[in-house]
Structure 1
Amino acid sequence: MIRKAFVMTVYPDMHEEYEKRHNEIWPEMVEELRRHGGKNYSIFLDKDTNRLFGYVEIEDEEKWSQMASTEINQKWWKFMEPVMETNPDSSPVSKNLKEVFHMD
């Protein structure tokens, strides 16, 4: 299992909306994430900085990277665009974090 962590930014007035959209995540989006090897996926919010910290465990980097081009993922990115910082292709502005410690 590969552990991935990343940070993103939600707009200051969209904290509740961001959480609401994830509480109501589309079942087909969850299924696609699982199909691409995603497990144990969590996102945390630091309200003071508007920063989101994401953590997901994946099976394979190549399989996971293919998730971005799926139809449902593209639809999700468009849906989330109004509530968070995004790139021109509607993907979230995201920075991967390097693991420096792990304990089981």
Structure 2
Amino acid sequence: MKKYITVILLASILFASCKQNNKPLHIMRFGSITGLKPEKLAYYKKLHANAWPGVLKKIKECNIQNYSIYLQKIQNNYYLFSYFEYVGSDFAADMKKMADDTITQRWWKETDPCQQPLPEAAAKKKIWTNMEEVFHTD
């Protein structure tokens, strides 16, 4: 009986420790910023309030989680701040997979004209400017 209880206890401890360790080994965090054209504000919000299922599916397939976009008005200009976590093992391949997706391409044709790239991004023919992480805690 004592042996049986010991085996059950050890199995329970092992199971509990495995269950607690379900986080990805490495999470890459990304923050970026862009402007938003004032005349496109309502449309941009409407698009994201009803994000296309195919776009949401592709985001998950490309190992992105906790994706958020925030809006802030500063001196009569609107800015968007995006944040997401990447939990895959090949960021470049996943971003290519997303960029090659026809539904995502159609989505970007709707959202890109709403956005006003900051000068640094515009010079590189991009929409979003990457931001430096200066603090993080779990």
TM over 0.5: yes
Residue 35 of structure 1 pairs with residue 66 of structure 2: no
Residue matched to 1:56: 84
By percentage of residues, which structure has more helix?
2
The code of the aligned residue for 1:50 comes to Y
What is aligned with 2:36? Answer: 10
C-alpha displacement of 1:72: 1.6
Q: Which amino acid aligns with 1:56?
A: F
Matched, 1:97 2:108: no
* 36-45 vs 56-65, greater mean Cα deviation: 56-65
Higher relative CO (Cα under 8 Å, sequence separation at least 6) belongs to 1
1:79 aligns with 2:110: yes
Instruction: Kindly provide the amino acid, as one letter, of the partner of residue 102 in structure 1.
Output: H
Bigger Cα Rg:
2
Provide structure 1 residue ranges, at least 5 long, that are not aligned to the other structure: none
> Aligned pairs, how many?
102
**Counterpart Cα distance in 2 of 1:11 and 1:75:** 19
The one-character-per-residue Cα deviations of 1:38-63 (angstroms, maximum 9, x if unpaired) are 11010001123311000001123224
Q: How many Å apart are 1:92 and its aligned residue?
A: 5.8
- Tell me which stretches of 4 or more aligned residues in structure 1 moved more than 4 Å: none
What letter is aligned with 1:101? F
